[in-house]
Structure 1
Amino acid sequence: MNEAWTGTSLQGKWVEGNIYRSSARSSSGSGLPVRSTDFLRGTDNITIRQGDTAILRCYVDDNVSKVAWLNRSNIIFAREDKWSLDPRVDLVTKGQLEYSLRIQKVDVYDEGPYTCSVQSQQQPKTSQVHLIVQVPPRIYNISSDITVNEGSNVTLRCLANGRPEPMVNWRHLTPLAEELDGDEYLEISGITREQAGRYECKASSDGLAPDVKYVNVVVNYPPQIMESVNAEIEVGRTGVLQCDALAVPKPDFEWYRDDKRLYSTQGIHIQNYGTHSVLTVANVTEDHYGNYTCVATNKLGINNASLFLFKPVLPTKPVPHKEETDATVLWRQPGPGTAKDNSDSLAQSLWLLMASMACLLFKC
C-alpha cells in the first residue's frame, strides 16, 4: 500500500502521516478461547496456550472509511492489505462487519498489545487487546540417577520453566507415595536404605499439562545376614545349610568349617543366588557334623553367622522295672490282683487283733 493515510497511535488518537510496512515478530505454540474487542471497553486480556490459534475479534459498521490492525507501533493489516510478513497471521472477515485478526501457532513472541483502529465519518475509534501466552511447564534440568553410601547427604535438583512459572513437587514412589518437603531442590540428610528408590519430580501450572521426570537413587550399605537355617540330617542323607543376607551392592559369600574355607568339591556343593547362598552335603557322614560359618562381604563391610549340621537324637527305650534288690527298692506299678491281696492282708490283721482282745478278756 503506497498511499499516505491517517494512522493511529497506541493511545487511540488519530494522527496524520505516512505509514510504512513492517513485520510483527512471532513464532509457534496451545490455548484458551479469546474474547471479542469492544470499543466501549478498555484493554481486554486474552490468555491462550502456546501452539493454539488466537482470534482477536473486531467489528465495524458500514460507515468505516479506514481500518487497521497494529501490534505496538507496527501495522499488521491496513484494510485487507497485509503488511506483516508472518505467514501465520491473516484476517477473518464476514462481509463488511467483521475485521478480526487470526494468529496461528501462537508463541511467546506474539504476546503483547494489539490495536484495532477504525476511522469512520463521525470519529476515530480504537480498541486494544493484550495477548497473554501460556507456556506449558517444562523440566529442563534434573539430577541424573545417583548411587550413594548410607548416611550420606543427598541433594536432588529439578529446574523447570513455563508461563506462568510452574510449581515443582517431589514424591518418593513408595506404596504411600507421599509428597516431600522441597521445591526445585530436595535435601535428604543422612539417607537410609529405606529412602532408596525412584523419586518423581512434577512441574505443574493451573490449566496446563504437567511435566514429570524421575531420578533413581541407589543406597549402598554393608551386608546384614537376615536368616540362617540349620540342618538335622541322618547319616547317608543329603544335608543343606542356607544363608540369606541383605546388602547393596550384592554380597559375596564364603563358607568355613572351623578355620578352613570350604569350596565346591566332591561331596560338597556351594551355590550363590544374589543375596542367598546354599551349602549342600550330598552324603552326610559322621565327619560332616559340626559348626559351619557363612560369611557375607561387600565393599562396605562384612557379616557372618554360625550354622549347625547335626545328627538327629534317637528316642531312648524305657528302663524295665525291677523288683526289690539288696540295695534299692524301685517303685513297681501294681499288677492284676494286687488290690485283692491287700484286702486279704487287712482282713487277716483285723482277725488277729480281735483274737488278742478276746484272749485278754477271758484271760487265756
Structure 2
Amino acid sequence: MENSASGGRHNLSFGPALRLRNALRAGIQTPDSYSFYSSGRSGRATQLVITPSRKEHSVYQGEKFFVSCSSNATNVQRVMWTGPEGQQITDYTGSVPQNNIQRIYVEDGRSGHKGVDLVFENISRTDRGSYTCSANVDGKEEFVSFQLFVHKLIDFEDTPTVQYLEEDRDSIVRCDVDGDPAPTIAWIVKGKKVKYEGKFSQDTENPNHLIVHNATLEDAGEYQCRAMQLSSMTSNIESLRIDVKVHHKPRSSNNNNDQAYSYVSGTVNLTCEAIAEPKANFSWMKDQETLMPSDRVQIINFPNKSILQLTVADPNMFGDYECVAENHLGTLERVIILERGSKPAKPTLKVTKAEVNALHLSMNAQNHPDMPIMGFRVQYKKAGDDWSFAHATEFKKGESYVIHNLTDDTLYVIRAYAKNAAGLSDYSDEAMERTKKVEAMNVTSFSSPLTSCSFVFFFSSLLAAYLISL
C-alpha cells in the first residue's frame, strides 16, 4: 500500500479501489485498514481520515463508487464534502425520494455525526476532479482531499461487423473506436498480426482504419480489430471480429454444362451457376429474345443459380440458350446448347425377392446407340394409395436395385422409368409384391420327460420349499 505522506501513486487500479467496488456491489462494509491521516492546512497531521486511503482514485465511466470521511477525535462537527468546483454536496438519501436520488450524494457514515460517505452512482467523465472533506475537529478546521480520474471503457461505437472490399481496388476496413485513455489499434487478419507493408497499410486520415491494397477474393475472411488502453492507473484490451467479404463480378462455377438433350414432349432443366458478391441477377435469352415464364418455360432462381425448365413442345425449341448473370461490377454470359436426343425405351421391371422390410428388383431397358441408359427412377406406393403419395428413389445402371425401409406384411405397387441424357422414358408396367410378415420367435421346449403340467407342479414345489426356508 502507498504512503500517503509521500504523495505516491499506484500504477494500476486493481488494489483497494477494486476491493472497494466489489464490497459496494456485495453490500459489504469497507475495511478500516484503508484509512490514513492526511495533512491539514497548517501542515500538521490531521485526524480527519478518508477511506480507502488513496490520494487518487481511478474508475470507469458508468461504475459505482463511494469514499468515507470520518474522524476518531472526541469533538467532531460539521463533516461535509465539496466538489471540484467548490460546491457543497448536501443531498442525502433520506432527504429525497429514492427514485430521485442524485448521481452524487452523501450518506451518514458508520460513526454517526463523526463521518460522512460520498457516493457516486453511474459515474460520468464530467465528475473528474478534486473532492474535499472538511470538518471541525477539536475546535480546528480540518481538510482532506482526493483526486478522481474517470476513464471510458473501449467502445467500438458503430463499427460494422460485416464489411466489404472491392475486387482489384484499394479498400478500407473500418474500426471506429473510442475510450479514455485513447486506445491504440492492432489488426489481426486470419489469425496473423498485420504488418503495415505490401498488402496492408494505415489510413492516413484515420490510423485506426486498415487499407487493403488491390483486393482479391483471397482477402475475404475474419479480421479482428484489437484495441488496447494503457496508463499509469489502468489497462484494458478488447477485440471486435469483423467478417470481411469481397465484392466481385459474377464468375462461372465448375458445375456448369454447356450441352443438354431432350426430345419432343420431353422436359429438360438447363442450369446456370454464377458466384458473385453481391448476388447476381439472372436472365435467359433465345434468338435474341428474353424468355418469360409460360406454360412451356419456367425459371427458378436461387442465390447463385438459375434453372430454366423447358417443356419441349416442338422442334423449334432446340437450339442455343443464353444465360446472363450480372451485378453492378460486371456480367457473365453463358450459352447452353439444347440438342435433340432419343427418348429412352420403356423398361422392364420384376420383383426378384421379398424381405420383411425390403424388395429386390430386376430392371432393364434397351440402349439407344447414341443415348445409353444411365439409370432408373423407381416409384413405389402401398396398394390402394394414389400415385401422388408415391415415394421415389434413383438407381445408377448396374448397381443393386433394392428398395429399403418398407413396412412388413404390406402389399406394394412399383413402377420404373429409364433415364438417359435426354430425359426419362415412359414408366414400366406396374409390379405388385407383398413384403414378408414378421414371424414370432419359436419357444424352445425343455429337453425333459416332464409334461407341461408336471413342470408347473415341479416349479411350484421348488418355490414353496424356498419360501419355507426363509
Global fold match (TM > 0.5): yes
Change (3 A) 1:291 1:51: closer
Cα separation, 2, equivalents of 1:305 and 1:177: 42
Post-superposition CA distance 1:230-267 (Å, at most 9, x none): 434455432332221223351333334xx655735888
* Contact 2:165 2:244 (8 Å CA) reproduced: no
TM-score normalised by structure 1 residue count: 0.56
Q: Which residue of 2 aligns with 1:76?
A: 88
Would you say 1:237 and 2:254 are equivalent positions? no
Corresponding residue number in structure 2 for 1:136: 153
- What CA distance in whole angstroms lies between the structure 2 residues aligned with 1:311 and 1:114? 93
Q: Tell whether the 8 Å contact from 2:299 to 2:307 is kept in structure 1 after alignment.
A: yes
Q: Tell me which residue corresponds to 2:247.
A: 219
Give the corresponding residue for 2:118.
102
Deviation at 1:168, TM superposition (A): 4.8
- How many residues are paired up? 276
Partner amino acid, structure 2, of 1:39: Y
Determine if the alignment matches structure 1 residue 282 to structure 2 residue 299.
no
Structure 2 counterpart of 1:152: 169
Cα drift, residue 223 of structure 1: 4.3
Residues in 1 aligned to 2:60 and 2:275: alpha-carbon distance in whole angstroms: 51
Shift of 1:225: 4.8
- Structure 2: distance between partners of 1:118 and 1:135: 33
| 1:152-196 deviation digits (Å, cap 9, x = unpaired) | 212233333223334556678xxx787767772121222234556
Structure 1 runs not aligned, ≥5 long: 1-10, 12-30, 81-85, 317-364
Counterparts in 2 of 1:217 and 1:235: CA distance versus 1, 3 Å:
closer
Deviation at 1:305, TM superposition (A): 3.9
8 Å Cα contact 2:271/2:308 also seen in 1: yes
CA shift for structure 1 position 282: 2.0
Kept in 2: contact 1:57–1:99 (CA 8 A): yes
The answer as to whether partners of 1:147 and 1:220 remain within 8 angstroms in 2 is: no
Question: What corresponds to 2:208 in structure 1?
Answer: 184
Q: Secondary structure at the match of 2:256?
A: strand
Residues in 2 aligned to 1:197 and 1:203: alpha-carbon distance in whole angstroms:
20
Distance 2:336 2:156 in 1: 52
Contact 1:157 1:185 in 2 (8 A): yes
Report if the CA contact (8 A) 1:223-1:251 is conserved: no
| Aligned equivalent of 1:62, options 69, 73, 81 | 73
Match of 2:36, SS state, is coil
- Please identify, of 295-304 and 144-153, the stretch whose mean Cα deviation from structure 2 is larger: 144-153
User: Identical aligned pairs, as a percentage?
Assistant: 17
How far is the alpha carbon of 1:60 from its aligned partner?
0.9
- Does residue 1:251 correspond to 2:281, yes or no? yes
The separation in 2 between residues aligned to 1:288 and 1:147, in whole angstroms, is 42
Residues 252, 298 of structure 1: 8 Å contact kept: no
User: Secondary structure of 1:57's match?
Assistant: strand
Q: How far 1:39 sits from its partner (Å)?
A: 0.6
Deviations 1:54-82 (CA, angstroms, capped at 9, x unpaired): 3222331233455554445726379x9xx
Q: Gaps (5+ residues) in structure 2?
A: 6-16, 22-29, 40-52, 93-101, 196-201, 343-366, 371-470
Q: Which residue of 2 aligns with 1:52?
A: 63
Distance in structure 2 (CA, Å) of the matches to 1:77 and 1:288 = 90
Bigger radius of gyration: 1
Residues 46 and 282 of structure 1, relative CA distance in 2, 3 Å threshold? same
Which residue pairs with 1:8 in the alignment? none
The residue type paired with residue 252 of structure 1 is: F
Q: After superposition, what is the alpha-carbon deviation per residue over 1:8-33, rounded to whole angstroms, capped at 9, x for unaligned?
A: xxx9xxxxxxxxxxxxxxxxxxx952
Match in the other structure for 1:314: 368
> 1:269 aligned to 2:297?
yes
